[in-house]
C-alpha cells in the first residue's frame, strides 16, 4: 500500500512557448504572426499569420496548438487542452486560428505563480524554442455602469485588438434562470469597436436572467464562423431599479466592541471581475483606541509597496501606507493598529487593469491581547496555536522557545504532561492543576473543545466518550459514527474482513477503481483533491461511489453503489505542493440503505482533537501491495504510527505544511501505495470509536526506509468540511 503517484510521459514537440498567464491577458510570443488572447472565460484564442514561416505552411499542413500547466518545480501536470489550428479560409491557408479551453476549476482566475507551456505542432516545423515571458493585463477601457430597468439592459464586453483581426461581432443569448437553452431564447447581436453595447428588451419584472455569449471576427479577407457559446458569469435581475456598481464599494461603517466578524466588504460586481479604474473607500468608526481593525481576506494578501512599484492586482491605501494586493492560496489578515477612532481604507485599480472580485470580512481585536490564548503570526496576521508541535506560522515562531511541545505544562513546577492525562481524574501535576476546571467553562482557544452553545472545555477529546461534558450535551450528539464490528487486528498489510471498515469507499470511473475515500456523514464522502487530476473527472456524472465493498471484482452483502451529485475541492488546494489536498463528494443514498445501517460514517474530529505522535492508526485501501506493483482485489489494512511534524520535516523539509500529517516507520515496510489515494487514516479512541485523522495524499515511494507516508491533516480542515456539509 502507498500513495497514488502521478507519472506523466513527456512528448517531444516542435515549438514550445512557456508563458506566465493571468486572467484577461494578451500573450506575447516570439513566433512571428502568432497572437493569443486569454479572456475572462478561461479560453485562449489564438490567431496565426504563418506567411513568414519557412518552409511555408500549405492548406494540407496539419497543425495543433496545445497547452499544459507546469509544476512549480518543473514537469507537467494533467491540466491540458488542445485544438486544431485550422485555416479560416481555404483560400488563405496561412491565416489560422483556434481556441484552447482551459480547466473549469481555474474559472475563478489564474494565479500569478502559474506557468503554462504552449506548444504549436506542425508537420513541416522542426525547430524548438522555449520562451519565458511574463504577460501583461489586457488593456481595457473603463466600461459604463450596467443599468437594469423594466425594458432594457445595457451591457458591455471589451474586445482588445488582435493584430490583423481588429473587429468582432458578439452575440448574446438570454434565458430565465432555470430554463433550458433553445431557439426560444432572446438573442441579440452587436458589433464591437472595440466596446460592445446593446439594449435588450422584453424582460419581465421580478425575473432573473442568465446569459451566454459567442463571438466571430468580421474581416473582408475571409468569412469566419461563430465560436462556441461561453457563459456570462453574472446574472441580471429585472427589478425595475438602477443597479450601481458602487453599492458595496463605498460607505461609513460603525464598529461595536464585540468579538467576531461584523460585516463583509466586496468589490463591484463580486464575484465577477471588478472593472478597471475601481475606486472603493470605506470609513470605519472605532468604539475606542483600545481596539484595532482586522481585515480578513481569502486567497489574497497585502504587502508593503516599494517606491513607484505598480500594483497590478489592486492597490490599497491604509493609514498613509500604500500596499499592493496579491492573489494566493492561503487565508490572510491585515491588522490595523489605528491612531484615531476613525480610519479609512481605500482600494483602487489601474485605469487599464481588472481582476477577480474580492471579498473581505472586518472585525475588531483587542490591542492588549490580539489573540487570546493563541500566538499572533505577524507574517499573515492569523491567530495560531503555540507549542502544539505544528509550525502554523510560516516563520515558525509559534514553535520557538517552547518548554512543553504538544503537552500540558503544570503551573507549579512547569513539568510537561501529555494532554490525554489532563482531566482524566488522576492528578499528574503538583496541586492537581491538570484536574482543575474540568467541568467548567474556560476561555476558548485552539486547545479547548468548543460546545455548540459556545462553551469551551479543558478536557481533551471529550466528544463521544459517553460522558456529557457540555451544558447542552453537544459533545455526545451526534455520535452514530466510527463503530466497527471487529475489535482485534494484526499490524501489517493484510486482508480486511467484511464490514470491518464500514466507512471505506471506492471511487470508480467506468467500473475501474481510481481512489479511496471515507464516508463522514450519511450523504458525504471525503477523499483527496488530487484524484481529480483531469478536468473531465470534475464532472460528477462520471463517478460512482461503492460503499461497504470488500472485493473489487465481486458484489458483497454490504455493497452499496451510489451516484455523485457534486464535487467540492478545497479552495486552497495546490496541485504543486499538495497543500489542502482534500475534496468532498455529495452522494445520493437510498432510504433503505440508510435504515440498514450496514455502512456507517467515521467520526469527524473537531479542530481541537488531539492525535498524539506514536499513536497506532490504520490506513485502508485497494492499492498496490508493493511499489510499482499491481493493486489488490481485497481491501487491505495496515497499522502505522503517527509521526511528529519535526520528524516528518527531517525527511521532507519544507515540503510539509501544517495541513499535512505523517505516519509510518523509519525502517519502512508498512505504508500506503499507488491506488490508496484519498483513503482514510483512522485512529481509535479509548472507548473503541474510530476518528478520521488523515486522508492519503503523497509520499516518496511505498514503504521506503526514512520516508513516511504523508496525509492531509483532517483537524486543520474539519471546519471547512462541516461548513460544506451543513450548507443549505
Active site residue ranges: 530, 581, 677
* Separation CA 672–CA 635 (nearest Å): 12
Residues paired with 191 in a beta bridge: 169
Which strand (E) or helix (H) includes residue 596? helix 591-596
Question: E strands, 206-340, where?
Answer: 208-217, 230-231, 236-237, 250-254, 263-266, 279-285, 291-304, 315-318, 321-336
47 in Cβ contact with 65 (< 8 Å): no
- Cell representation of residue 487: 475489535
550 in Cβ contact with 635 (< 8 Å): yes
Question: E strands, 644-719, where?
Answer: 660-663, 680-684, 690-699, 709-713
Indicate the burial class of 270 (C-beta count within 10 angstroms; 0-12, 13-18, 19 or more): middle
Phi, psi dihedral angles at 415 (to 5 degrees): -70, 160
Longest Cα–Cα distance of the chain, Å, equals 94
C-alpha 600, offset from chain centre: 27
- Cell representation of residue 345: 481604507
Phi, psi dihedral angles at 537 (to 5 degrees): -80, -5
Q: What separation in angstroms does the CA of 83 have from each of 54, 129, 534, 624?
A: 22, 20, 17, 36
Residue reference for cell 468604539:
287
Cα dihedral across residues 635, 638, 642, 646: positive or negative: negative
* Separation CA 417–CA 169 (nearest Å): 72
* Separation CA 210–CA 230 (nearest Å): 12
* Separation CA 647–CA 649 (nearest Å): 5
Q: What separation in angstroms does the CA of 562 have from each of 302, 317, 547?
A: 44, 52, 8
Which strand (E) or helix (H) includes residue 190? strand 186-192
Amino acid at each position: 500500500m502507498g500513495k497514488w503517484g502521478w507519472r506523466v510521459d513527456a512528448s517531444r514537440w516542435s515549438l514550445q512557448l512557456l508563458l506566465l498567464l493571468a486572467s484577461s491577458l494578451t500573450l506575447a510570443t516570439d513566433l512571428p504572426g502568432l497572437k493569443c488572447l486569454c479572456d475572462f472565460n478561461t479560453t485562449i484564442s489564438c490567431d496565426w499569420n504563418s506567411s513568414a514561416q519557412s518552409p511555408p505552411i500549405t492548406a494540407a499542413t496539419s497543425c495543433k496548438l496545445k497547452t499544459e500547466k507546469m509544476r512549480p518545480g518543473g514537469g507537467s501536470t494533467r491540466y491540458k487542452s488542445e485544438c486544431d489550428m485550422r485555416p479560416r479560409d481555404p483560400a488563405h491557408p496561412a491565416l489560422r486560428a483556434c481556441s484552447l479551453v482551459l480547466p473549469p476549476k481555474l474559472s475563478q482566475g489564474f494565479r500569478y505563480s502559474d506557468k503554462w507551456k504552449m506548444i504549436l505542432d506542425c508537420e513541416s516545423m522542426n525547430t524548438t524554442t522555449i520562451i519565458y515571458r511574463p504577460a501583461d493585463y489586457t488593456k481595457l477601457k473603463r466600461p459604463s455602469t450596467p443599468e437594469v430597468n423594466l425594458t432594457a439592459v445595457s451591457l458591455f464586453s471589451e474586445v482588445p485588438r488582435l493584430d490583423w483581426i481588429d473587429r468582432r461581432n458578439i452575440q448574446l443569448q438570454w434565458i430565465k434562470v432555470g430554463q433550458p437553452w433553445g431557439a426560444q431564447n432572446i438573442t441579440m447581436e452587436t458589433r464591437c469597436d472595440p466596446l460592445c453595447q446593446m439594449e435588450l428588451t422584453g424582460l419581465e419584472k421580478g425575473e432573473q436572467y442568465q446569459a451566454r455569449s459567442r463571438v466571430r471576427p468580421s474581416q473582408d479577407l475571409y468569412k469566419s464562423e461563430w465560436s462556441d457559446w461561453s457563459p456570462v458569469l453574472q446574472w441580471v435581475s429585472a427589478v425595475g431599479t438602477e443597479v450601481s456598481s458602487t453599492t458595496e464599494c463605498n460607505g461609513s461603517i460603525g464598529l461595536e466592541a464585540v468579538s467576531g466578524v461584523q460585516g463583509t466588504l466586496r468589490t463591484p460586481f463580486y464575484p465577477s471581475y471588478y472593472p478597471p479604474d475601481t475606486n472603493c473607500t470605506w470609513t470605519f468608526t472605532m468604539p475606542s483606541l483600545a481596539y484595532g481593525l482586522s481585515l480578513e481576506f481569502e486567497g489574497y494578501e497585502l504587502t508593503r509597496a516599494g517606491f513607484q512599484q505598480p500594483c497590478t492586482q489592486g492597490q490599497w491605501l491604509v493609514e498613509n501606507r500604500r500596499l499592493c494586493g496579491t492573489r494566493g492560496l492561503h487565508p490572510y489578515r491585515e491588522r490595523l493598529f489605528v491612531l484615531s477612532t476613525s480610519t479609512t481604507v481605500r482600494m483602487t485599480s489601474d485605469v487599464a487593469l481588472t481582476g477577480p472580485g474580492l471579498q473581505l470580512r472586518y472585525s475588531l481585536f483587542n490591542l492588549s491581547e490580539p489573540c487570546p490564548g493563541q500566538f499572533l503570526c505577524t507574517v499573515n496576521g492569523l491567530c495560531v496555536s503555540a507549542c502544539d508541535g505544528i509550525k502554523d506560522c510560516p516563520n515558525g515562531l509559534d514553535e520557538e522557545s517552547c518548554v512543553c511541545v504538544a503537552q500540558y505544562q503544570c503551573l507549579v513546577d512547569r513539568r510537561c504532561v501529555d494532554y490525554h492525562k489532563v482531566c482524566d481524574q488522576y492528578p499528574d501535576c503538583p496541586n492537581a492543576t491538570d484536574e482543575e476546571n474540568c467541568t467548567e467553562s474556560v476561555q476558548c482557544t485552539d486547545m479547548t473543545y468548543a460546545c455548540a452553545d459556545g462553551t469551551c472545555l479543558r478536557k481533551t477529546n471529550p466528544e463521544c466518550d459517553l460522558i456529557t461534558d457540555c451544558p447542552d450535551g453537544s459533545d455526545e450528539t451526534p455520535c452514530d459514527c466510527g463503530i466497527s464490528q471487529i475489535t482485534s487486528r494484526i499490524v501489517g498489510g493484510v486482508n480486511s474482513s467484511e464490514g470491518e471498515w464500514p466507512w471505506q469507499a471506492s471511487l470508480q470511473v467506468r467500473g475501474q477503481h481510481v481512489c479511496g475515500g471515507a464516508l463522514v456523514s450519511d450523504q458525504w464522502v471525503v477523499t483527496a483533491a488530487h484524484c481529480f487530476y483531469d478536468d473531465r473527472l470534475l464532472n460528477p456524472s462520471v463517478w460512482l461511489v461503492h460503499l461497504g465493498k470488500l472485493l473489487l471484482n465481486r458484489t458483497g452483502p454490504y455493497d452499496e453503489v451510489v451516484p455523485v451529485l457534486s464535487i467540492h475541492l478545497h479552495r486552497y488546494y495546490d496541485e504543486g505542493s499538495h497543500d489542502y489536498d482534500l475534496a468532498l463528494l455529495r452522494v445520493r443514498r437510498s432510504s433503505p440503505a440508510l435504515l440498514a445501517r450496514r455502512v456507517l460514517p467515521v467520526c469527524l474530529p473537531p479542530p481541537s482533537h488531539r492525535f498524539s505522535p506514536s499513536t497506532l492508526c490504520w490506513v485502508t485501501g485497494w492499492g498496490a501491495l508493493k511499489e510499482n506493483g499491481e493493486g489488490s482485489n481485497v481491501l487491505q489494512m495496515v497499522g502505522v504510527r503517527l509521526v511528529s511534524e519535526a520528524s516528518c520535516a527531517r525527511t521532507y523539509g519544507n515540503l510539509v505544511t501544517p495541513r499535512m500529517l505523517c505516519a509510518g516507520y523509519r525502517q519502512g515496510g508498512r505504508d500506503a501505495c499507488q491506488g490508496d489515494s484519498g483513503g482514510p487514516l483512522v485512529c481509535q479512541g479509548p472507548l473503541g470509536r474510530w476518528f478520521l485523522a488523515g486522508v492519503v495524499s503523497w509520499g516518496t515511494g511505498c514503504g521506503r526506509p526514512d520516508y513516511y507516508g504523508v496525509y492531509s491533516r483532517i483537524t486543520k480542515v474539519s471546519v471547512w468540511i462541516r461548513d460544506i456539509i451543513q450548507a443549505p
